[in-house]
Structure formats: C-alpha cells, structure tokens
Structure 1
Amino acid sequence: MNQQPDFKSTTAVSALRQGRRDFASFVALLLPAILTCFACTGKASANESAEIRIDCDQSTVSLSPHLYGLFFEDINYAADGGLYAELIQNRSFEYFSLEETHRGTGFHPLYAWNSVSRSGGRAKMSVINTNPLNENNRHYLQLQVDQSDIVGVRNSGFDGIHLDEGARYNVSVYARLNDWTGDSKLTIQFETGNEFDCGRVVLDGADGTWKKFEGVIIATKTTDNASLTVTTEGKGTLDLDMVSLFPQDTFNGRRNGLRKDLVQALADLNPKFLRFPGGCIVHGSGLDNIYRWKDSVGDVAERKPNWNLWGYHQTYGLGYFEYFQLCEDLNMAALPVVPIGVGCGFRCTEFVPIDELGPHIQDAIDLIEFANGPVSSTWGKVRASMGHPEPFNLKHICLGNEEHDTPDMRQRFPLFSKAIREAYPDIKIIGTSGLGPEIPIYDLMTRDKVYSSDEHYYMPPNWFIANEDRFDDFDRNKPLIFVGEYAAHDTDRRNTLYSALSEAVFLNGIERNADLVDMTCYAPLFGHKNHSQWNPDLIYFDKRNVIRTTNYFVQKLYGQNKGDVYLRSHVDVKESTHAPTVSGHVGIGSWNTTIEVDKFTVNGRESDMANWKVTGGEYSTQDGHYIQSDGQATPAMSINNESLSAENVTIEVRARKTGGSEGFLIRFGADENGDGGYWWNVAGWNNTRHGLENFSEGNGTMPSVEGSIVNDRWYDMKVELTPGKIRCYLDGDLIHEYEIKQAGVSISSSYDHRAGEVILKIVNPNAVPVDARIKLAGARKVASEAKLISLSGAKDATNTFDQPTNVVPLESTIPAGPEMTHKVPAFAVEIIRVPATL
C-alpha cells in the first residue's frame, strides 16, 4: 500500500515476509488508505515530486510467465452473437421460454424466425420433436406447404445480420421432405428491406431422409440489417434443422469459427492463459443447468444446447474443443473450470448427493482425457475426430467457482481433487478461496495442497488502491494465489480511467508479489452493446465495432510489458497537497427500522429537518421530533438541503429506535440526491455491528466493530470531520477513528532479459502531476533514450461507441540515463522502457 508521506521500501525481505496477518490486523492496516471519496478534496497548488530509486542489481522474485491472462464467460451474449461467429440465432429451434426458470424473456421455439409467403404461396409453420435429427437436437421446424409458389422461413439473426459486399459466407442446413411434389430445390438468400436478393445459393437433392446441404453465398450489399431466407416452390412437408451461416473470414479461417476482430483484440493483450467457460454458468441456476462439457464437443449438430443463467440460450457451438483450439492459437495455457457438485450459492443451495457424485467426478477426469489422451482412448478419439489428433497438453484444471463456505462444499471438493490426483498426478489443481477478499475457504485449499487458490473481488476503485500491498505478508508456505476475477466498480459501473488506474495500482502490488500471485485476469471479458447483463466489461462490441475500454488498455500495457524479474525499488513522495476534507450533504436514515430523531445539529446549529429531501421511507414531524415510520424501507433516508464545505464539521444526532431489525444511518459527504459519500451505520447487520461505509467509487462496506442498540432508548451520536480524519462517537465513546488518505504514486519495476530493458510502471491516480526523479542504481550501462507509453486523461474519461479512442496509449521517446527526470501527468499510467545492461 502506498502511504504518504512515508512509502515503505519494496525490498526482497518485505516482499517475502512470512506469516499471514489475522483479519483484524489486516483490516487495521488497510483502513487508513481505504476511505477516500469523491467528496474528499485536497487543496493543491503545485505538482507533487517523487524520488524513485530502482536497484537494478537487486532482483527479488521472478514474474510468472503466465501472470496475465483472460477469463471468458458466456455473459452479455459473449458467445452466441459475439465471439462465436454464427450469424443465425436459434438455428436449431431449441429456444424455449425461461420465465419460470429465470426471468421474463419472451423466448420460444420460433424466436428470431418468421414465415415467408409470396406470389400466393401458403404454408403452415410449426416446431415439432417427432423423428428428430438426433437425440440432443430434438426440435426442428416443419413447413406444411398447402399452396405452392414461394414459401419458407426467415431468420433475423442477432438483431439483424451484417453483410459486407463481396464477402463470402458459408451456409448449411439439414432438410427432409415428405409427400412432396414439384420442385425440391431450396433457395437460400440474403434479403434486406425490399431487396429480396442480396446474394443467394440454390441447393438441391432433398428427399425423405435428413441430409445436410452446404453452399457459399457472396453478399452483393453492405448492410447491418439483413435476414436469411430459406424458400421452396414445391408442395408437401418440408423439415428444416440446424440452419447455419458463417462468414468465411473467421479467425484463422476456421469453419465453426470465431469472430476475427474480437479474437484479435484478445491477441493484442498478449494473454498467457484462458480460464473458461465461467464463472457462475459453471454452476448453473440449478443442478439441471450445470455446464456439462461433454454436451459441447463433437459435431455441432449433435451438441446438446442449454439455457444460460444470465437469461438466454446457448448453442454450445463455442465449446470445449473451440476453447482449447483458441488457447493453442494464441499460445495460452488452458484453465478449464469444472463444477464440483455444488450449486451456485447466489441462486440455489442444491448439492449432488455424495452417493451420486461419481459421474460428476468422472466428467472431470474424462475432460483431461479429452485434452491429453491418446487417440486410442475414448475421449481422445472424440478430439481426434474433430480434427486434432495431437493432445492439447492441458496442465491445469480449476475445481469450482466462487463456492460459498458450506459443509457440503468442504466435503465434496477433496473427493474431486483426490480422484484427479490419482488419475493424473501431473495435473495442477486450482482451487477456490470463496467469494470476496476475506478468502473464507483458503484454509481448505491449504490443507488440500492445491497448486493455487482462486480469489474474486469486484470492489470500488479505492479498494484496489488501498490493497496494493494485499499480498506482501501472505504466507509463502501456502498455495499460490490466482486472481481469477476482478474489476474496479465505480459508482455508475462505468469503465472510467480512474477505475483502470486503480487496477494498475493493484497490479503493481501483484508484480511485486509475483512469487505468490501466479495468474490474474479481469472479468467479465465481453459486453454486447445491446444485450449486457453486467457492467463494466473489458471489451464492448456490436456487429461491427470493438470498443477497447480504458481498463483494456491497462491490461494490454501490463500484458505486453511484464518483464522477467522484479527489481527492488523505492519511492518517496513529497506532497504539496493538504490533508483531504469531506464536503457535501448530510442526512439521517435507517434500514428496515423505524426511528425518532430529537435533534440533528451541524457545528452547533440545529437543522430544520422538516424541510429535508426524503429519498426513501416515510418521514414526518411530530411534537418537534423527526419520525421515520416505514419499517421496510432499505434505506429510508432524508438529506439536508445544504451542502457543507468547511474543513471542520461536527454532526451531532440524538435519536432512538422505535422498531425494526437495525439502527441508524448518519449520512455525510453525499450529493444532492443522497448518493456517494459515507454513512455511519450504527447497529447495522441485524443489530450486531457498527461500521463506516464508503460510497465514493461504488458501494463498499468497510470493516466494522461489534455493537448493538435497544429499542426506545435515546442515543447521542457524533461524527467529527477534520482534515484527513473521521471520528465517530456513540454516547461519548469513540467507536471509529479513520484516516482519509489520498493515493500516492505507485510503481513497479522489472527487467526484461530478452529485450535488455528495465521496465518501470508508474501510476498516478491523482489530479496533480508528479515531477519524478528516477535513479537506476546498480546498472552497468544505461541508454540515453527510453521508450515511453502513456495512458492519461480526465478522471472520468471513457471510451464509447461514439468516441472509441477518447483515451488510448501514446508512444514517444524521452531522454534517459542512470539519473533522469520525468513529469508524470495527472490520472495516468506510464510505462518507461530503458535499455540497460545489468
């Protein structure tokens, strides 16, 4: 953690200290840096200055060769309609309503399909499942043509099919005829608006059995709103299934391939591993919705599709073979995630009974055989039949994802790990620490001796800044750490430059502790412009465009400029800023609780609460008291109309609880709508704890202390705000004393042996530029010129579809030498690569 003005040296000793802190000590060290909010202001009149020393002759730890990678989950239509290049939606007519299983969606077997009838032709369209194409793909479209002419069906794709004039598209369909008279040809063509022919192919030869027909269509128009039609001029019954359309220009030109521009965006990150296929979808919404990898391999027409807990359907056309193939194409290690018979704790509490766990364990073992087994093995033969007789050389397997800490989970995990070790002792098992920074299951992973343990955290940007030293004191005798999902979530869940900078600060700490942290990856990876269930995401896309976010560019800078060994470094910042203060609106509130307020004063002046702005709950004034009477509101909040900006503010409240499960919320530093800033949560968490909560860059609960209140007793509460400090008193007792710190300059220094360069990463997450004096100590020779890559801009700057290059890295050269000066812009991450001989 970078603390001002005293920055600790990142020596090899500090980086390798043994003995993990207990939670209370860990919290105590983190709190001073955590509480920085958008309502905190520092008065700056000049640049800061920093002395940076790199001890080039003192390397500490080797950086993992696969430190930076990717995590892919089919969320936000990341697969079908995204990375998977298929242009037909609901190609096998397997969609069904998800209203009972998930949420209202409007899906049905003919979703994205419409009938076509021209020149008097007439037909009845339905989806049936008698005599299907195969047992995994049971539904198909049946067209009963009563009046022959031009009749058929039209697919609109994913909000319209995009075409490029002159481009070639592979089309395929399974078809069958019954009681047919007349022309048996099928015409497949692109249409848009009133243009009925934007490219076509005619396929012939259908008869009374299922047959696959393939052709190529050359588009005669560029458009984003085309549809694909399949029509006939005969009469009788026409059955259709697996209507498929792919551009030939997929990544590496593969059939059943991936969208080229999206894969290129991944390749540019220089990723060294891919974690797939999730994420929460591994668990599914229930045991019947678990991701079963065996359903995703083999002939795409025989894969068993499934619905997705994020609220849509997935074809599994992008399946385990394609994931392994992508890893091979981009030189990434494959990290498949398999479920361990435990339901998603957020959605269900189901567990596979122990006596029924055998097939699930066997699935995990068979997956390794699919990846690595000889062609003579059962699953190695399947892989070979798909065009890859050589093994994929899988080295890792991930067991579980974000499991909640339950006895059932603790009972099942060791059964999987034991079976895998017996069958494949060389496979490295990646376990799970559970959800959140407290890593509740790390003890189990330690006893099980997993290779590494997966941590996930989606936290406000300031959490990442405060946790730069998170791993400094982790016990090196315990499993390695895999940061498998993380992202900084600001108030509006946007990809701001500040959120990206906070992640860069965190990555600097990871590089310093690369002997412990083996892998990291941002999550989620993709977000569809029109169909996102989760924000923020690393890459946004529509049919034609790929938007690289500010966070993407941080990942790219770190992935392309990692280095081989970490060099001991030290930074000392001399501040020109004053301690930050809290400004904004104040207020009173409760959570599932009714309260009565006798007095609310700010700096000794009593407030007229009758005129406050109520943002939740039911407030009224009775006998001079301010009463909140809604016991269900979460929260019930009332905000003062005046905004405070004084350096010293004292808030005093006298109130009592009249009913409900919790206590009081004293708000300060909020905006006029009651958002942002802090609240002091007195007797929260079902009347068990007092805690300060920071809403500056996203909702973040700070660590708390034990405490409760009783009904119908008057309590005197006081909050003192002074420059750099927040103190909270309950009945005269000091409950909290928090120090507000502004983040300082963060650095990481490494050496790239192959390039012969010192790599310095500098992050300035503040509004004040920094005049840096850099000393490369211990180098035998240093070049006179260095390469600079800089990503900077406004704090809230983002890249959008309208402004995709609003914030992008810029490259230049700067003077260099054993001692050099450089001005680091405000809100910036910079990479300086200095040729040097060590």
Structure 2
Amino acid sequence: MFCLPQIRSFLHYGNRIVATLGILCCIAGIASAQTRIKVNVHADQPTVEISPHLYGLFFEDINDAADGGLYAELIQNRSFEYFSLKDTHPRTEFHPLYAWQIASSPKNHDGFVDATMQVHDESPLNSNNTHYVSVTADQPGTFGTQNLGLDGIRIDQSAKYDVSLYARVDDWQGAAPLTVRLLSPDGDVCGTLELPRPGSTWQKFDGVLTANETRDDARLQITTNGRGTLDLDMVSLFPQQTFNGRKNGLRKDLVEALRDLNPQFLRFPGGCITHGWGLDNRYRWKDSVGDVAQRKPNWNLWGYHQTYGLGYFEYFQLCEDLDMAPLPVVPIGVGCGFRCTEFVPMDELGPHVQDALDLIEFANGPADSTWGSVRAEMGHPEPFGLEFVCLGNEEHDTPDMRQRFPVFAEAIRKAYPEIKIIGTSGLGTGIPIYDLMTKEKVYSSDEHYYMSPRWFFDNVNRFDSFDRDKPLIFVGEYAAHDTDRKNTLYSALSEAAFLTGIERNADLVDMTCYAPLFGRKGHMQWRPDMIYFDDRNVVRTTNYYVQQLFSRHKGDVYLANSIDVVAKSPAPLFNGYVGIGTWNTTIELGEAAVNGRPLDLAHWKTTSGKFEHDNGHLAQTDMKATPALAISHESFSGEKIVFTARVKKTGGKEGFLLRFASDANGKGGYWWNVGGWNNRQHGIESFDGDQSSTIAKVDGGIESDQWYDLKIEMNGDTVRCFINGDLKQQVQLGSLDVSISSTYDRDAGEIILKLVNPTAAEVDAQIEFSGVQAMASSASVVTLAGTKDAVNTFESPETVKPVASKIAAGTEFQHTIPPYAVQAIRIKSGRTN
C-alpha cells in the first residue's frame, strides 16, 4: 500500500475546488454561471489501495422487501400465522385468515356448497407452525379456500409454478382429489392442477401448475369434493423461474438488479429489525434455517409479518451466487434505542452469545458439527466461508451497551480468532461509541448517515483527518434525503461527491452501502430507497446508477490529483422567499422588510406549525412544531438583499429561525438559527427538504418576552447576520465544487477519472496526466446526467440512466462536464510507476 505523507497532506484539499465554508450553489436560492478548471492527475503518485470490497449492499426487510419482494413466494400468510399487532405495534388489521377467503365457484363450474373456515391449533403441523386452517362442509359438494396473494398474484402465460401444501381430512366422506386452480377475480380458470386425496394425518403434496394466461391479479384456489373437514397448512406457490432456478428461491429480476451493481458484500438481515420492537421480537437466525415448514415465523418492527422463508441459508446462498462477502448482523442483547430500553441481564447473556457462536458454526463449521450439519442437510455441505460478523446496529451510547459489547467480542475472538468483528460507532454522525470500538480493537466500525444532500457535499473531506491508528470505517447505511425524500438526481450527485472522498480515503473506509435497498409500491414505511418494484416492474433510481457507476469503475489504487480554478463564476445571485420559523418555541413577529420595504405579514404562507395574524403581527403558537415555518408572499432576487425582522420569543427553550432563499413550498434555502441548540448558540444552516445542515455556529442566546431586531445581509457570496445592530456571524458561501476521484485499474491498464458536477452550468475542464509515458488517444465515458430534480418512476423508469460514449483523449485534452452530471472516464495508460 502506498501512503506518501506529503501527498496525503496535499490531498486533504487538493481534489476539490475549495470554498470558504463548504459547497453550495443552485441549492434553492443561488444560481451560477460556467466555470473553467484545470485537472491534473499524477499518475506516478499512487496514494492508497482501494478496498477490494468497498461497494456492497445492505438488505433489510422493510417496505415488504422480503415476502412479496426478493423472496419469490406468491402466497401471503401461507401458514396462517398472522395475528393482530395492536398490543405491540399500531397495526391491527392482521388476523390468521388474512389474505384468505372461502372458495367461490369458478366460471362454468357447478356444485359448490356452503362451507365454514376457521383457524385451529389443536393438532398442528409442528411446534413452530402452530396454526392451520380447517374448511368444513356439512353436505356433499365442492368447497375449499383461496388466497389473494399480496396485491394479487402475478402469473405469466405458459410459465410453470411449483405448488406445495400440507393437508389432511377429518370425518371425511368422499374420494375426490384436491384441485388447485389459478383464478382471475371474475372466476376465469388460469391453470389447474390435481393432487391426491389427503389422508387423516398431515401429508405434503406438491406438483407443477402451468398458467394459461398473463395476469397481475390472480388468486390461488384449493378445493375438494365430499363432506367433512379439510385441514391445510404451508400452502405455497413459487415460480420455477427463480434466480438460478433455485427451489424456495429469489425473484429473478430483483436479484439481477443487484448483480448489475457488482456488489462485493451483503450486510443482512437488517439494521433495526435485528433488535426488533423489543427483545422478544429480535431477529433469531435459528428460526430462519432448516425446512421452511419447520421455521418459526415472526413479525418485524416495520409492522408486518415475515415468513423467514428468506432466511440465513438463503442470504448466504445469495452471497455465494453473486460472489459477495456475507456480513450478518448479530444483536448483542440490547434493545432498539428508538423503541425500547430493554437489556438482557448480564447473567442471562450466555445463550445470546452462544447464538452468535453457533451462527459462525452454521456458516463455516464442518458438515458433522451441530450447526454445520443443518447447513449440510439444506444442501450445502461445504462451508460458506464467513469472514466478518457485525455486532450490533446503531446502538445508543449507554452503560448497558458498553458492558455487553465486549462480552460478545471476547467470546468470538476466543472461539474464532480468524473472524473479523465489525462494530458500531453509535447513533449519529458524531460517532459517540467509536472510542469503545477503538478500545475493543474491532476490524471496522459502522457509521450511518441519513442526511440532506448539502451534508454530503459538505462532508466530502470527512475522513481526511481521521486517525489511521483507529479501526477502519464501514459506512453501513447512508442516503441523501432530498426535498420530499425523492430519489432526485441532485441527491444522487451529492452521494457521488461523497464517494469521491471515500475513495481518496480508501485506506480507512473499507466498505460502503446505500440504504434501504428495496421499496415495494404501495407498501412503503421508508423512503428514499435504491430500487422500487411492484409485481412486474423494477425501477432503478438515480441513486442506484451512481452506486453502479462507482462500483463498476472503482480501480485498485488511488492516484494523487489537483484542481485549479482558471475562471471563477460571477458573484452568486440570491433568490427565493424569506420567512420566519421556530423549533419547540412560540414567537411573535412584529414586522419584516426586504431592502427597506415593509412586508405584509397577513399574506405569509404557513408551511408547518400554527401561525396566526392579528393586528399586523404574526404569532406562531404551536410549541411542539419541529420546525414551524412561514414564508413571505413574494420572492426576492438580486446580488444584494437585506432582510430585517422584529421578533419576540413568547415561550419555549429555543429561539428564532430566520429563513432566506426558500423555494415556494418552504423547502430548500437557509435559516439563521438564533438562540438554537437549547438557546446556547446561533448558527447558519442550509435547509434541504426535511433535513438541515449546519454551516457555522457561534455562542449566544436570547431572552423571552423581549423584542429583537434581526438583520441578514446577503451580498455577493457573503452572508452577514446582526442582532440589534451587532454583527454576530459572517460566512462566505462559495460556488458549488466539482468533486473528482482518480484511480488506476491494474488488470485493465486504465486510469479512471470520476467527475461530479452538481451545478446548473457546464464546466470546462482542461485535463492533464503527469508522470505517464503514454496515454491512449481516446477514452470511454459513462455519463449520468439530467435535470436537478429528475426522478426515475414506474411511469418513466429511464428518465436518467447511464449513457456510454467515446471522447478524444491523450496526456492533455479539453473536456466539458455536463450540468448535474457524474462521469467515469477510462483511458488506457502506460504508467511510470
């Protein structure tokens, strides 16, 4: 590994156009013209090796990502184990017959009789699957049950489907077999299969059903003819065309979307679901292996049930299929800090630690070991080759957590010293328990960022000054949350800029993965996500394509680089709306003006909170609003704008939020936070959608029931903030930076230059390669570009997608970087080193 100290020092600032206080332009409120830059890639100055597993995936069962998603099962509630979550979670609609109904007569079929349907547990299939359905007819005839799937069942004409179920009969009169049909909602028969007549004990039946038409709204019907009771359990319908044709397999097109990302690892089975809603609801990996009929289903904290058909064996198998390193996440006896404060007592921690050790044996143990034999019986006698174990997820910094983590780490090191332990830095960008991870000498420590695009731009240099003697960093969950949490191109570009800084620090940042991975249409608990899907369609977002571009064009070693500004953009033009806001505080706005002209407060628009106009004043009265915001009835534009306001705090612990450069919906722009952070500091912050990012802070506070004259001067790229005539803060908002990364791909013999332009204007770049013997005369380019707010949708899934092209190249050449674009340029090179 190369890591030249003088290059490292230079690279802290040399890879970007440095703005005085970060990155901004064309974030709501500032526009800019074209910029000319000079980029020099020092091909003979390698700095750090790029981690071979830098880019990977994080999967969590959220947004119905497993059942109804990646897991190809088409039946919902196949084992009748659903129940209401009203005592533990707000959702109440679930029950044991959810998605099931009494069978109705298909078209052109007669002889159906009335029947009753109930769920019982007196004589179950097994102790893990305790419920089954009993359908009873008191008179001879045809009867049964049918499943509606999840938003219907997708079938394709001529496609084959594997059907399986457990059945038995009781007090039975008749000799008819079981009939399995695919039906349309109108009763059209879309496929038929006959299975043998059940006996009086549980028996598994299976067969293959061929669909005779294509539909998205089919249902599966199971009937028989006779009189008595038919018991059913573990009813399953699987397309034969799963990924790699595997039984109990995964949805082919979704796995193909993952494969196309060129992922090097998979973190699973989730983040928060590993803790669960409480300790009783935590993810138990042992419940997810073995025969699917023997697995113990559970519900997850996102508020729905999961079969565990997609379990640890399937996760390991997927890793093997896509050549990814498996990264299982193990709970450490600590409850989810967001939802419960439970901890496993120290004297009861032993079985939890043993679960972690048994997991390693399941993955790597010999086929005759206790848990290795379970793996072997499932069809994989060879070890999976597990190298990493993740201990914990987003743990809050508590004495209980600090007491328990070392117990797990010590036990794993003693039993399996070859396993690399990935710890957790704790909740938030301040990484509160990185000190514990350092003390425990973990391999790497997991950090999570769900922040505004502005934060990602501002943190391109986040890892430049990290201590290299501490654990490596695993960026295990991150996503830019743009306005309204949409997957805009702008959010993806902010992530791209952030990744250039990660590649520059690849000696420290070992792994990264976007989160969450999947979102099913109509079943969303969280957004944005990287991939959206319904029964038939897959939408690859702009963020997906950024991940793909970086993963496919990673390189092996980072090359030193520099950027010089040849021509600067003219002074920024401020534009947008002004306004007022609060955070857990009530206030009164007496008057406001822009450039000395009074504003009519009666026409201001409330975007959150409760603002009331009375006698010329505007009062915010909702103490709980976080934030409460109102903006002016007109917008303002110009090189110099002065916004003044007379404000009084009437209650609460915080102060005022003086808005400027907001858009018409109250999104974007900035606020001056006067008396923020529990009335201890003033700060200028950017505001992007529902996320704020601090630019600069100073100490200070305000008093209640006292009028303050506030003023914000916006002049060129400078913002000056005054309280009662006294200057409190001054910041310079520079033009938005072009971010770059330059690496070398040894196998291809190519230099890879990645360029990120998040501005509205083209950037003219003079690109030079120093320290090389020769460069090819042409280069291949992959470009992802579009409008700032461009989004890929189900209706328009390719609004933004990668475009390949060729350009003239050499040791020196001119190149125009499109607006709102990220590019990967690959050039054959003869290097001096």
- Structure-1-length-normalised TM-score: 0.94
Q: Deviations over 1:271-303 (max 9, x none)?
A: 100000111111111111101101100110111
Q: Deviations over 1:688-724 (max 9, x none)?
A: 3333332235421416444332222332322222221
Q: 2:812 aligns with which of 819, 825, 830?
A: 819
Structure 1 residues 222 and 610 mapped into 2: Cα distance closer, same or farther (>3 Å)?
closer
Post-superposition shift, 1:531?
1.0
Question: Which residue of the partner structure matches residue 727 of structure 1?
Answer: 720
**What SS does the corresponding residue of 1:234 show, helix, strand or coil?**
strand
Would the aligned equivalents of 1:19 and 1:475 in 2 still touch at CA under 8 Å?
no
**What SS does the corresponding residue of 2:484 show, helix, strand or coil?**
coil
Amino acid at match of 1:81: G
Q: Is 2:98 the counterpart of 1:111?
A: yes
Q: 1:810 aligns with which of 803, 807, 825?
A: 803
- Separation of aligned partners in 2, 1:308 and 1:737: 48
Amino acid at match of 1:567: L
Question: Which residue of the partner structure matches residue 108 of structure 2?
Answer: none
Would the aligned equivalents of 2:591 and 2:601 in 1 still touch at CA under 8 Å?
no
- Separation of aligned partners in 2, 1:425 and 1:618: 61
Q: Is 2:136 the counterpart of 1:144?
A: yes
Would the aligned equivalents of 1:19 and 1:474 in 2 still touch at CA under 8 Å?
no
Structure 1 residues 634 and 792 mapped into 2: Cα distance closer, same or farther (>3 Å)?
closer
- Separation of aligned partners in 2, 1:411 and 1:593: 38
Q: Is 2:50 the counterpart of 1:63?
A: yes
Higher mean Cα deviation, 674-683 or 166-175? 674-683
Matched ranges for 1:18-29 at <5 A: none
- Separation of aligned partners in 1, 2:242 and 2:50: 34
Matched ranges for 1:512-591 at <5 A: 512-591=504-583
Post-superposition shift, 1:199?
1.3
Higher mean Cα deviation, 667-676 or 469-478? 667-676
Would the aligned equivalents of 1:790 and 1:810 in 2 still touch at CA under 8 Å?
yes
> Please, which runs of 5 or more residues in structure 1 have no aligned partner?
1-9, 22-28
Q: Is 2:761 the counterpart of 1:768?
A: yes
Question: Which residue of the partner structure matches residue 73 of structure 1?
Answer: 60
Question: Which residue of the partner structure matches residue 777 of structure 2?
Answer: 784
- Separation of aligned partners in 2, 1:614 and 1:763: 36
Structure 1 residues 70 and 120 mapped into 2: Cα distance closer, same or farther (>3 Å)?
closer
Higher mean Cα deviation, 234-243 or 777-786? 777-786
Amino acid at match of 1:826: P
How many residues matched?
A: 819
Amino acid at match of 2:78: R
Q: 2:21 aligns with which of 11, 32, 35?
A: 32
Q: 2:89 aligns with which of 102, 105, 114?
A: 102
Question: Which residue of the partner structure matches residue 41 of structure 2?
Answer: 54
- Separation of aligned partners in 2, 1:596 and 1:283: 44
Question: Which residue of the partner structure matches residue 168 of structure 1?
Answer: 160
- Separation of aligned partners in 2, 1:419 and 1:796: 50
Question: Which residue of the partner structure matches residue 4 of structure 1?
Answer: none
- Separation of aligned partners in 1, 2:705 and 2:63: 49
Would the aligned equivalents of 2:54 and 2:512 in 1 still touch at CA under 8 Å?
yes
Post-superposition shift, 1:448?
0.7
- Separation of aligned partners in 2, 1:635 and 1:748: 37
Structure 1 residues 120 and 163 mapped into 2: Cα distance closer, same or farther (>3 Å)?
closer
Quick one: percent identity of the two aligned structures? 62
Post-superposition shift, 1:20?
12
Structure 1 residues 769 and 635 mapped into 2: Cα distance closer, same or farther (>3 Å)?
closer
- Separation of aligned partners in 1, 2:200 and 2:38: 81
Q: Is 2:599 the counterpart of 1:607?
A: yes
**What SS does the corresponding residue of 2:455 show, helix, strand or coil?**
helix
Question: Which residue of the partner structure matches residue 834 of structure 1?
Answer: 827
Q: 1:289 aligns with which of 274, 277, 281?
A: 281
Would the aligned equivalents of 2:24 and 2:736 in 1 still touch at CA under 8 Å?
no
Post-superposition shift, 1:64?
0.6
Q: Is 2:501 the counterpart of 1:509?
A: yes
Structure 1 residues 130 and 773 mapped into 2: Cα distance closer, same or farther (>3 Å)?
same
Q: C-alpha root-mean-square deviation of aligned residues, in Å?
A: 2.2
Q: 2:251 aligns with which of 252, 255, 259?
A: 259
Matched ranges for 1:611-690 at <5 A: 611-615=603-607, 616-622=609-615, 625-690=617-682
Question: Which residue of the partner structure matches residue 241 of structure 1?
Answer: 233
- Separation of aligned partners in 2, 1:58 and 1:632: 55
**What SS does the corresponding residue of 2:363 show, helix, strand or coil?**
helix
- Separation of aligned partners in 2, 1:128 and 1:467: 57
Amino acid at match of 1:108: H
Q: Is 2:352 the counterpart of 1:365?
A: no
Higher mean Cα deviation, 817-826 or 99-108? 99-108
Q: Deviations over 1:36-80 (max 9, x none)?
A: 563322342xx4222111111221111011011000000111100
Would the aligned equivalents of 2:452 and 2:693 in 1 still touch at CA under 8 Å?
no
> Please, which runs of 5 or more residues in structure 2 have no aligned partner?
106-110
Amino acid at match of 1:831: A
Question: Which residue of the partner structure matches residue 26 of structure 1?
Answer: none
Question: Which residue of the partner structure matches residue 7 of structure 1?
Answer: none
Amino acid at match of 2:57: L
Q: Deviations over 1:359-381 (max 9, x none)?
A: 11111111001000111211111
Would the aligned equivalents of 1:11 and 1:569 in 2 still touch at CA under 8 Å?
no
Higher mean Cα deviation, 818-827 or 307-316? 818-827
Post-superposition shift, 1:683?
2.1
Higher mean Cα deviation, 158-167 or 655-664? 655-664
Structure 1 residues 544 and 277 mapped into 2: Cα distance closer, same or farther (>3 Å)?
same
Matched ranges for 1:446-525 at <5 A: 446-525=438-517
Q: Deviations over 1:58-106 (max 9, x none)?
A: 2111101101100000011110000000000100011111233222351
Structure 1 residues 498 and 375 mapped into 2: Cα distance closer, same or farther (>3 Å)?
same
Matched ranges for 1:237-386 at <5 A: 237-386=229-378
- Separation of aligned partners in 2, 1:600 and 1:229: 68
Would the aligned equivalents of 1:176 and 1:238 in 2 still touch at CA under 8 Å?
yes
Structure 1 residues 398 and 632 mapped into 2: Cα distance closer, same or farther (>3 Å)?
closer
**What SS does the corresponding residue of 1:364 show, helix, strand or coil?**
helix
Structure 1 residues 18 and 377 mapped into 2: Cα distance closer, same or farther (>3 Å)?
farther
Would the aligned equivalents of 1:122 and 1:148 in 2 still touch at CA under 8 Å?
no
- Separation of aligned partners in 2, 1:630 and 1:817: 62
- Separation of aligned partners in 1, 2:318 and 2:259: 10
Post-superposition shift, 1:31?
7.9
Question: Which residue of the partner structure matches residue 717 of structure 1?
Answer: 710
Q: 2:123 aligns with which of 111, 125, 131?
A: 131
- Separation of aligned partners in 2, 1:249 and 1:491: 39
Structure 1 residues 200 and 629 mapped into 2: Cα distance closer, same or farther (>3 Å)?
closer
Post-superposition shift, 1:597?
3.5
**What SS does the corresponding residue of 2:356 show, helix, strand or coil?**
helix
- Separation of aligned partners in 1, 2:179 and 2:751: 62
**What SS does the corresponding residue of 1:75 show, helix, strand or coil?**
coil
Q: 1:403 aligns with which of 373, 376, 395?
A: 395
Q: Deviations over 1:719-776 (max 9, x none)?
A: 2222212222234443332222232221111111111111111111111112222112
Structure 1 residues 16 and 304 mapped into 2: Cα distance closer, same or farther (>3 Å)?
farther
Post-superposition shift, 1:802?
1.2
Matched ranges for 1:403-422 at <5 A: 403-422=395-414
Would the aligned equivalents of 2:423 and 2:445 in 1 still touch at CA under 8 Å?
yes
Higher mean Cα deviation, 194-203 or 590-599? 590-599
Structure 1 residues 503 and 634 mapped into 2: Cα distance closer, same or farther (>3 Å)?
closer
Amino acid at match of 1:419: A
- Structure-2-length-normalised TM-score: 0.95
Post-superposition shift, 1:262?
0.7
Structure 1 residues 732 and 416 mapped into 2: Cα distance closer, same or farther (>3 Å)?
farther
Structure 1 residues 211 and 610 mapped into 2: Cα distance closer, same or farther (>3 Å)?
same
- Separation of aligned partners in 2, 1:200 and 1:454: 51
